[in-house]
Amino acid sequence: MPVILPLLMFMQAYDPEIEAVMRNSRKKKEDAAAAAASAASVQQAAAARSAPDADGRIPVPAKFAGPFQACLDQALESPDKAITFAQNWRIDGGSFYARHCMGFALSRAERWGPAIVAFEQAAEEAERGGEIVQSARLWGQAGNAALASGDAKKAREDFDAALARGLPDGMEKGELHLDRARALVALGDADGARGSLDTALVQAPKDPLAWLLSATLARRTGELALAQAHIARAVQLSPDDASVALEEGNIAVLTDHTDIARSAWQRAVKLAPDAPAGKAAADNLGRLPAPASPPAN
């Protein structure tokens, strides 16, 4: 117990949700960059506007694909120039795609308040045009901008709006429930977060972040058997993630598996010595007693 108490006190200062928010925010940016790169491939898709392509996404109509790609590309290089581009394109009939790019450019500039507004306006315009699935996605992006800004209440409202519009079963719906769970964790609603996480695990079972956050929430609520099972799945899916290794150690030490905790924290330090997860793991290691020496012959 003298070892566990200081570890418990320290573990309150760091949880994977913090790192997850940053990681997920970067992921959204990377996804938008990928959308920019792929826009050219759907320029001839106007005839199939309402028909999803192979990955379930609705193609950008040819009328908008070229400017949309140009705007997103510009946002990667100069968010301010992209904001001007999007403003002019919106006046020229860029529809919700112009507002979408505006939100992306504002996010790139970390101007979260205006980004939320741009994404919400894009979502509303898409819905007025009958693009309900696109509207759901844009509400989700508004929620992520709100979460990045630190406004978890607003994020929850936007994620709820996204889910109300409906998305087909699969990874995308799972990610949306995961994002909603992150907002609910930040709001202190553990029961609500558990419900969204359980749905995320069904819809997106290959996402290690979902298993990580589920394990963390289970640890926080004292469900240690569930925490052990879910962190094991996260480790299986993402063995080289320092946040996963840190949480594996956190759960192990609480279940009296000090050797496993030591190994997991050492792995976290090796994987990311300068990241928050690696530094937290190093601090935890410093609080463990030295391993017992083998008995002398």
The CATH number given to whatever domain includes residue 224 is 1.25.40.10
What is the spatial distance between Cα 238 and Cα 278, in angstroms, rounded to a whole number? 15
In a domain? residue 57: no
Q: Give the domain extent around 252.
A: 1-16+207-288
Instruction: Using alpha carbons, list the distances in angstroms from residue 201 to 53, 207, 230, 245.
Output: 24, 8, 10, 19
Confidence tier at 62 by pLDDT (50, 70, 90): confident
In a domain? residue 231: yes
Q: Of 40-49, 194-203, 234-243, which gets the smallest average pLDDT?
A: 40-49
Contacts of residue 206, Cβ cutoff 8 Å, sequence gap at least 6: 171, 237
One-letter amino acid at 81 equals: K
Q: Does the structure show a pLDDT above 60 at 20?
A: no
In a domain? residue 33: no
One-letter amino acid at 279 equals: K
Q: Helix 276-287 and helix 4-11: axis angle, to 10°?
A: 160
What is the spatial distance between Cα 226 and Cα 150, in angstroms, rounded to a whole number? 29
CB 73 within 8 A of CB 108: no
Running DSSP on this structure, what letter comes out for residue 55? T
What is the spatial distance between Cα 54 and Cα 67, in angstroms, rounded to a whole number? 23
In a domain? residue 126: no
Q: Does the structure show a pLDDT above 70 at 105?
A: yes
CB 89 within 8 A of CB 102: no
CB 15 within 8 A of CB 227: no
In a domain? residue 221: yes
User: What integer is the mean pLDDT of 12-40?
Assistant: 46
User: What integer is the mean pLDDT of 16-23?
Assistant: 50
In a domain? residue 217: yes
In a domain? residue 240: yes
User: What integer is the mean pLDDT of 71-81?
Assistant: 92
Domain count within the chain:
1
